[in-house]
Amino acid sequence: MDAMAEADFVVVGSGSAGSALAYRLSEDGKHSVIVIEYGGSDFGPFIQMPAALSFPMNMARYDWGFQSEPEPHLGGRVLATPRGKVVGGSSSINGMVYVRGHARDFDHWAEQGAAGWGYADVLPYFKRMENAPEGEAGWRGTDGPLHVRRGPRDNPLYAAFIEAGRQAGFELTADYNGEKQEGFGALEQTIYRGRRWSAANAYLKPALKRRNVSLVNGFARRVVMENQRAVGVEIETRGKVRTIRARREVVIAASAVNSPKLLMLSGIGPAAHLRHHGIDVVADRPGVGGNLQDHLELYIQQESIEPITLYSKLNLFSKALIGAQWLFLGSGLGTSNHFEAGAFLRSAAGVDYPDIQYHFLPVAIRYDGKAAARGHGFQAHVGPMRSRSRGTVRLAGPDPRTSPEIRFNYMSHPDDWRDFRHCIRLTREIFAQAAFDPYRGREIAPGTSVQSDEALDDFIRAHAESAYHPCGTCRMGAANDPASVVDEKCRVIGLEGLRVADSSIFPRITNGNLNAPSIMVGEKAADHILDKTPLSPSNQQPWINPRWREADR
């Protein structure tokens, strides 16, 4: 262990961004890298088998087990906030849906002070990281470490969903990660040869084969600061506290929950809050732990009159058969996350790019695998992408082992209620199209009796769930903006030798699932850390609906 107690770069967290950082920082062989990860191995079928995705995020072995504080606008409900506590971080327990985000998301970042992070700047990094042979030529990468594929879409309900969108007057898209995000189409998955292609499989494990990269298992307690400079990370391992020294820099990539927590434990954050917990203030950065954002979603469930859904596979015998086929043959239903069709839509005329996301699933079941509907059904996960609600991550106490207080403040903005009601009514319109006539039974949820604004609000309050996309708590922006935590090169403002690079630096949440932009942050941050000239900006222009001012479709 002591031989591995010092490196040029110390990265805290082996998740989406951390794994990419380890791979790129060590690539030329000139620099040594230590990755600190508290969680254990990702070996095993619950993580590696895509269809088993509901298991790892509910297992204390793989998940930090965070929960929100009671949410005042959701009837006081406490919502689970899974974060990966395992090699690969949350990329080892997520739903494996691959979404870059819309071009305008990144242009907004740049407008908010994240100079050099507009779409033209980040597109080359998305291309560098991808191996997406089915993607749109010229817009996608084909030789990167991250394998991306389309699902097989064998179940006819996937085609029915896409055709129903067309019948309702919406666009179709051949590649929502290419030129045109808007529309209905096939979803992409981080799955390769039937296995979850996590950041650990794509980046970390290849990096660990190099002599200049090592993985240290330990619980990060704080960043060690000397004269306003980060010089190492204090960790607890096997009951002992020790310091991993960084000759050049410490890079925190520990998630939108743990990154601000670690900064605050290190004396970097809102001064009054730190003093309240008896922590000496190293840097008063009021933005640390603020700006917390997430996506909420609802499951709109419909009965299927044809027995073709995955419901017939939920019994123990079928699960065992699927598991055996996956394990021994690398084939069958175990090789997909079953999110194989989806859509990105605009909620109204005057909205210039999509602000609603759909995931379609040919079974009526919760994301966590609980409470399957009794019988055959299908469902759409739907939610608005750009809520104005903001929350916080705060320390509950000075003990590093104490879980932080997470307040999402979901549905605190009145627009959120209007947007969610629209999502429910829009989904009903899509399910009512002729494409679903051969399959459509009764509406399971919300149920046909739920029609008025008040009734829909009650349903939303009781049933809205997190899509598990927390971000924004160490936001990137201009150095003179007190709400910014890191500058455009991911450096913690006012300090030396310390950076943050993960979803916590997003100024605003992106349009879709967060794994892809989190990996992109790791890729781009590595070039900034190594002081490399960034990849040349792209001149490609994304498709924007020419009717956006007049219509929602």
Which positions ≥6 away from 482 have C-beta within 8 Å? 286, 287
Q: Is 411 annotated as a binding residue?
A: no
Burial of 376-409, coded b for 16+ CB within 10 Å and e otherwise, reads bbbbbbbbbbbbebbbbbbbeeeebeebbbbbbb
Q: Is 122 annotated as a binding residue?
A: no
Cα–Cα distances in angstroms (integers) from residue 344 to residues 7, 384, 519, in the given order: 44, 10, 21
Contact by Cβ (8 Å): 194, 330? yes
Residue-wise DSSP of 253-274: -SHHHHHHHHHHHTTEE-HHHH
Q: Find the radius of gyration of the CA atoms of the chain.
A: 23
Q: Is 516 annotated as a binding residue?
A: no
Q: Is 282 annotated as a binding residue?
A: no
Q: Is 372 annotated as a binding residue?
A: no
Q: Is 460 annotated as a binding residue?
A: no
Q: How far apart are CA 241 and CA 172, in angstroms?
A: 55
Q: Is 99 annotated as a binding residue?
A: no
Residue with tokens 């598991």: 323
Q: Is 256 annotated as a binding residue?
A: no
Contact by Cβ (8 Å): 250, 233? yes
Cα 176 to chain centroid, rounded: 17
Q: Is 25 annotated as a binding residue?
A: yes
Kind of pairing between the strands at 377-384 and 296-304: antiparallel
Q: Is 29 annotated as a binding residue?
A: yes
Q: Is 147 annotated as a binding residue?
A: no
Contact by Cβ (8 Å): 540, 138? yes
Q: How far apart are CA 180 and CA 167, in angstroms?
A: 19
Q: Is 458 annotated as a binding residue?
A: no
Kind of pairing between the strands at 283-284 and 268-269: parallel
Annotated catalytic sites, by residue?
469
Q: Is 78 annotated as a binding residue?
A: no
Q: Is 13 annotated as a binding residue?
A: yes
Residue 76: how many other CB atoms lie within 10 Å:
10
Look at phi and psi of residue 268 and say left if phi exceeds 0, alpha if psi is from -120 to 50, else beta. beta
Question: Under DSSP, is residue 162 helix (H, G, I), strand (E, B) or coil?
Answer: helix
Q: Is 27 annotated as a binding residue?
A: yes
Q: Is 214 annotated as a binding residue?
A: no
Q: Is 18 annotated as a binding residue?
A: yes
Q: Is 101 annotated as a binding residue?
A: no
Q: Is 95 annotated as a binding residue?
A: yes
Q: Is 49 annotated as a binding residue?
A: no
Cα–Cα distances in angstroms (integers) from residue 31 to residues 34, 411, 516, in the given order: 10, 46, 26
Binding-site entries: 8-37, 86, 94-97
Q: Which residues are annotated as a binding site for FAD?
A: 8-37, 86, 94-97
